[in-house]
Amino acid sequence: MRVLCLAFLLALALPASAQTYASGLTVTLPEDWSGPETVDESEMPRTASYRYENTNAASALHGAVVHVERITGLNPMMQARWQQGRVPFGYHGARPVAALPREQVPFVRAAGVRTERDGRTGAVYFVTVGTTYWAVQVEVPDATAEADPDVLTTLARSVRLGASE
């Protein structure tokens, strides 16, 4: 019953207006998402960072976090490591625990890594778009992930990295 209730609430969550940034990032979070947003494009075009936290207790995604990093100028060795998710970016304190199978990665030309941290389940998707490298981290409370195994993929789909992703 709990799974059906969460699925129903997620289905009712209408997308909010899309937020588009100078970097080409577009984020469309559910209508009931509210909480702190941190955007730092001060080092563009080299790097940028975007973080969204849902503190709305009435939301089915209460406690969820979306954190996106944009990086350019990686050397060839780091480019190769990026495509495997073996870089020091994108984890923000979460512990990588397993590579995700391709069918659980919602981005083209991307690697995915399942993560954990105190009471939270997450994933980081390492995406390459031309010469730009994106790390898309999504996290939810463990109970949310247990109730809906697809919640991380669904949440990651709220992020668009440009027309060629």
Buried b (16+ CB within 10 A) or exposed e, 68-90: bbbbeebeeebeebbbebebebb
Percentage with pLDDT > 90 across the chain:
78
Confidence label for 60 from pLDDT (cuts 50, 70 and 90): very high
Which residue, among 77, 23, 29, has the nearest Cα to 49 in the 3D structure? 23
**pLDDT by residue (tens digit) across 71-103?**
999 999 999 999 998 998 899 999 999 999 999
Amino acid at 12: L
**pLDDT by residue (tens digit) across 113-156?**
999 999 999 999 999 999 999 999 999 999 999 999 999 999 99
For the structural domain made of 2-160, what CATH number should be given? 2.60.120.1690
Helix ranges, 69-157 (H) = 76-82, 142-147, 151-156
Percentage with pLDDT > 70 across the chain:
88
pLDDT above 80: residue 12: no
pLDDT above 80: residue 8: no
pLDDT score for 52: 97
Structural domain spans, the chain:
2-160
pLDDT score for 88: 85
Which residue, among 90, 45, 29, 144, has the nearest Cα to 37 in the 3D structure? 29
Q: 18, 159 in Cβ contact below 8 A?
A: no
Structure tokens at 114: 């399942």
**Backbone Cα Rg of the chain:** 15
